[in-house]
Structure 1
């Protein structure tokens, strides 16, 4: 039994062990001084008070031993208790610094839930993090990146340093309880290799948490099918979007400038795809009527998503069905 207690004690964190020893010493000497000098220390509380003040080297002097035995007791307390108490305070300070360093260096695991995991640090993820931070919803963001040596934005995200293809790294990001994952492409690598690396990360994430929605950035057309096979919920082809903008600029530069200016004005607005919601109770609802209803709620209806098909401005008489989703701009 004693060996079991000692083993359990030795397994405790060092700060707990040191504090336990320091408290035990203070209580012991507090009891001893009340026995040695009952006139100066009439109660156990006064004895413990004196022991704490003496061990912490504060020395108020409101309670002091006067006999030789009492002073020897005080000397022994200073030689033992003061050392343990100082060690405990140093241990706390060291632990606090170590924890802060681990947080900055991406070594501390994230233990929250319903957070957004972003894979890769680049200009796109940087802009995305800034947009999410300004969104007003106070979403918790966890960034996973192998190239960074410290947290690039400690005030707005939790950083995990490591390879996102490895389970241990994803587990430190608490991928089991994430609400959504966004995988950005590493454009410092060859495009095909960057896509293969992103798909490998997607496979690792889906292997640990198949239910988490994953948005993946793909650079090459050839890897879109593989991203679907790996379980991507949404694929963003950035090169295709860039090519569209460039091609449109060649045909009509003024039109594209106006279009890009329009996108810039969406700073306080959000493009959303939402369920039909309260309008399901309507027996027959066409696109024109639904647009009018939504405008009253400061929402601009752009189109309707039906299964895998999207209908942008389908026409005033287009009938909206119960399972349709609405493509709209909120805060218009």
Structure 2
């Protein structure tokens, strides 16, 4: 039994072990000084109080041993207690520094809920992270990247996890089961096909661990879009296709930069698909548009099944399962 208790004690964290030893020392010396000088220390509690005050070198002076044996006990306690207390606070400080370093280096598991996971650190994820944490209602972000050695964003809203996105251990550190959404960005350091393969592999890992979480994937090659959807992507962003749209618009425009201005305004607004209200069913697009304008929202189209209608004819009637595409 004593051997089993000793083994269990050794398995405790070092900080807990030192604390137990310190409490035991204060308890024993409190009992010793009470037995040595019962008149000066009328109760064991008074002895323990004196032992704590003396061992921590505070020294109030409300209790002072007068006998030779009492002073000898005090001398041993000062030498022993000061070492134990110093060890405790030194270990406590070292543990705090170690944990802070581990948090900065991405080795600590995230334990929050309803967060956004961004995989891959690049200029796109940098700008996205900056906009989220600077918004009026910032949301917690878990950033996963294998190339970074420390958290690149000094914000309480960004938790960094160092590791590969397609490794189960790394994904589990992000608390994937409690995440709201996952954004997988393409690694442009590789060739486009290899970058898409890595993104799809990461997507498969995430969906294997938590099939319910919504995943948005950046794909560079058009041929891999179908594979991303097969792997379980809820939404695919074809960044190269979006870039080509900008280039074509610039070539055909007179240098007015209207599309760039539109996108800049889009950064300050939010495009969302809203379900219709019961009273809006059967109304025309024009009627619903006027109603939304009065509420400060702009209707730009509707989504009907798999079809998206931008700037639809005003005479179209709203149907039950339509989604309204609005700028807020």
Q: How far 1:263 moved relative to its partner?
A: 2.3
Q: Which residue of 2 aligns with 1:181?
A: 182
Equivalent residue in structure 2 for 1:286, among 267, 284, 287: 284
Q: How far 1:200 moved relative to its partner?
A: 0.6
Task: Give the match's secondary structure for 2:302.
Answer: strand
Instruction: Note closer, same or farther for the CA distance 1:6–1:169 as it changes in structure 2 (3 Å cut).
Output: same
| 1:324 and 2:313 correspond | no
Unaligned runs of 5+ in 1: none
Q: How far 1:41 moved relative to its partner?
A: 1.9
Q: How far 1:308 moved relative to its partner?
A: 1.9
Contact between 2:182 and 2:214, CA under 8 Å: does it hold in 1? yes
The correspondence of residues 138-149 of structure 1 with structure 2, limited to 5 A, is 138-149=138-149
Q: How far 1:29 moved relative to its partner?
A: 1.0
Contact between 2:141 and 2:159, CA under 8 Å: does it hold in 1? yes
Count of paired positions: 327
Q: Which residue of 2 aligns with 1:171?
A: 172
Separation in 2, partners of 1:291, 1:8: 70
Instruction: List per-residue Cα deviations over 1:237-276 (Å, max 9, x = no partner).
Output: 0100000110111111435x02212322344321112222
| 1:88 and 2:88 correspond | yes
Unaligned runs of 5+ in 2: none
Segment drifting more, 190-199 vs 24-33: 24-33
Contact between 2:187 and 2:195, CA under 8 Å: does it hold in 1? yes
Separation in 2, partners of 1:222, 1:31: 80
Q: How far 1:280 moved relative to its partner?
A: 2.2
Q: Which residue of 1 aligns with 2:26?
A: 26
What is the aligned-residue RMSD (CA, Å)? 1.5
Q: Which residue of 1 aligns with 2:236?
A: 235
Instruction: List per-residue Cα deviations over 1:147-193 (Å, max 9, x = no partner).
Output: 00000013130000001111011011111211100000011111111
Contact between 2:280 and 2:288, CA under 8 Å: does it hold in 1? no
Q: How far 1:7 moved relative to its partner?
A: 3.1
Instruction: Output the TM-score relative to the length of structure 2.
Output: 0.95
Instruction: Output the TM-score relative to the length of structure 1.
Output: 0.94
